[in-house]
């Protein structure tokens, strides 16, 4: 293996093809014409992990690369995005010289691939000038060949983590729950039909004779996750919500407003003593009209925390 310099970067020349994966791209110019910003290879396995190559024919625009091709090695597979999973690897990226049948190779030093940094490689792998020059043999008849070798040196599992995703433009979802034959409710609590807000399933919970410190004196009203046990471990949902008892006569609705982090272990939030039973049952208040009570929920999901 001999050394050579392109674009001021020391690269090695090797007669041996890449051990782990090869990508041949035909009609490279069509990638540009079809506005294909990047090409991702299929997954391949090396060192017990899955990887792929990502090729930018006109440079990685996200890193302001111009007049160069960009080439990266990316860790893929189910564990690739977990911050707690780290893989240390030495890798080589190959480009075939089709004139001489050998490869230009650039070997990276040991890099750590993990959830926050699943890719390593070269923003300026090769200039367009060098890549397109026929005498260099890299692009012949509009075809090129890349490759990779990956050697895993060590791996580790670090501590757990979490990721908070805030919603840029949250949407308010409204749901109406009509409860007929209200005076005949004898159960401790009643649930509304399940409704969806912010990709989560919710329900309203009503305790007609109160809950906790309000039993016998107040009506209790809550917002709850409908399927808390289905949440992934570590998942929390930050929601702003309003619950209203509608005044069907005067329009003077009774409401409570709150913000809460909902989770599998903390799946409901509301008020033990939402309104006194005496106030609720006054006909002139219109909260129970023709033995019907109407409850309204407005829910805005502002953020979701998930485990890394």
Helix (H, G, I), strand (E, B) or coil at 129: helix
Does pTM surpass 0.75? no
CATH number where 39 lies = 2.60.210.10
Report the percentage of the chain scoring pLDDT > 90: 76
| Residue numbers of the domain that contains 71 | 2-157
- Averaged pLDDT score across all residues of the chain: 91
Residue 10: the pLDDT is 58
Using the structure block, give the residue that is written with the tokens 């709850």.
224
Of the pLDDT bands very low, low, confident and very high (cuts 50, 70, 90), residue 157 is low
- Distance, CA of 261 to CA of 232 (rounded, Å): 15
Using the predicted structure, report yes or no on whether residue 160 has a pLDDT greater than 70.
Answer: no
Considering the domain architecture, whether residues 171 and 294 belong to the same structural domain is answered as: yes
Considering the domain architecture, whether residues 225 and 245 belong to the same structural domain is answered as: yes
Using the predicted structure, report yes or no on whether residue 9 has a pLDDT greater than 60.
Answer: no
Considering the domain architecture, whether residues 55 and 15 belong to the same structural domain is answered as: yes
Number of structural domains in the chain: 2
Considering the domain architecture, whether residues 146 and 198 belong to the same structural domain is answered as: no
- Distance, CA of 304 to CA of 238 (rounded, Å): 6
Considering the domain architecture, whether residues 193 and 153 belong to the same structural domain is answered as: no
- Distance, CA of 204 to CA of 202 (rounded, Å): 7
* Total residues found in the chain within this entry: 308
Considering the domain architecture, whether residues 37 and 136 belong to the same structural domain is answered as: yes
Considering the domain architecture, whether residues 6 and 153 belong to the same structural domain is answered as: yes
Last residue of a domain, one of 125, 157, 189: 157
Last residue of a domain, one of 92, 125, 157: 157
Report the percentage of the chain scoring pLDDT > 70: 93
Instruction: Please tell me the least confidently modeled range out of 34-43, 144-153, 156-165, 279-288.
Output: 156-165
Token pair belonging to 234: 């570590």
Considering the domain architecture, whether residues 225 and 84 belong to the same structural domain is answered as: no
Considering the domain architecture, whether residues 28 and 43 belong to the same structural domain is answered as: yes
Considering the domain architecture, whether residues 141 and 215 belong to the same structural domain is answered as: no
Q: Which residues contact 249 (CB under 8 A, 6 or more apart)?
A: 284, 285, 286, 289
Last residue of a domain, one of 97, 130, 157: 157
Q: Which residues contact 125 (CB under 8 A, 6 or more apart)?
A: 68, 69, 70, 71, 93, 95, 106
Considering the domain architecture, whether residues 43 and 75 belong to the same structural domain is answered as: yes
Neighbours of 56 (CB within 10 A): 23
pLDDT tens digits for 65-120?
Answer: 999 999 999 999 877 666 667 899 999 999 999 999 999 998 888 899 988 899 99
| Contact call for residues 126 and 6 (beta carbons, < 8 A) | yes
Considering the domain architecture, whether residues 147 and 167 belong to the same structural domain is answered as: no
For range 13-34, the mean pLDDT:
90
């Amino acid at each position: 293996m001999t050394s050579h310099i392109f674009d001021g970067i020391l690269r090695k020349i090797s007669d041996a093809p890449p051990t782990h994966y090869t990508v041949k791209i035909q009609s490279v110019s069509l990638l540009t014409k079809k506005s294909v910003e990047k090409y991702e290879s299929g997954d391949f396995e090396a060192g017990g992990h899955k990887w792929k190559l990502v090729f930018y024919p006109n440079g990685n625009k996200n890193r302001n690369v111009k007049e160069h091709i960009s080439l990266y090695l990316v860790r893929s597979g189910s564990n690739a995005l977990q911050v707690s999973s780290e893989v240390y690897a030495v890798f080589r990226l190959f480009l075939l010289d089709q004139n001489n049948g050998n490869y230009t190779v650039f070997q990276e030093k040991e890099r750590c691939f993990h959830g926050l940094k699943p890719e390593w490689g070269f923003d300026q792998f090769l200039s367009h000038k060098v890549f397109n020059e026929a005498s260099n043999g890299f692009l012949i008849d509009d075809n090129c060949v890349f490759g990779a070798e990956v050697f895993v040196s060590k791996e580790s599992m670090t501590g757990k983590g979490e990721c908070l995703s805030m919603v840029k433009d949250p949407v308010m979802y409204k749901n109406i729950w009509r409860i007929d034959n209200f005076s005949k409710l004898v159960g401790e609590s009643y649930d509304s039909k399940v409704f969806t807000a912010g990709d989560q399933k919710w329900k309203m919970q009503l305790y007609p004779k109160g809950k906790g410190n309000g039993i016998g004196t107040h009506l209790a009203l809550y917002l709850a996750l409908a399927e808390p046990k289905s949440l992934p471990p570590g998942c929390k949902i930050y929601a702003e919500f309003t619950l209203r008892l509608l005044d069907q006569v005067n329009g003077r609705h009774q409401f409570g407003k709150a913000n809460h982090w909902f989770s599998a272990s903390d799946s409901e939030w509301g008020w033990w003593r939402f309104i006194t039973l005496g106030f609720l049952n006054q006909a002139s208040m219109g909260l129970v009209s023709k033995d019907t009570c109407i409850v309204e929920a407005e829910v805005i999901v502002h953020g979701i925390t998930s485990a890394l």
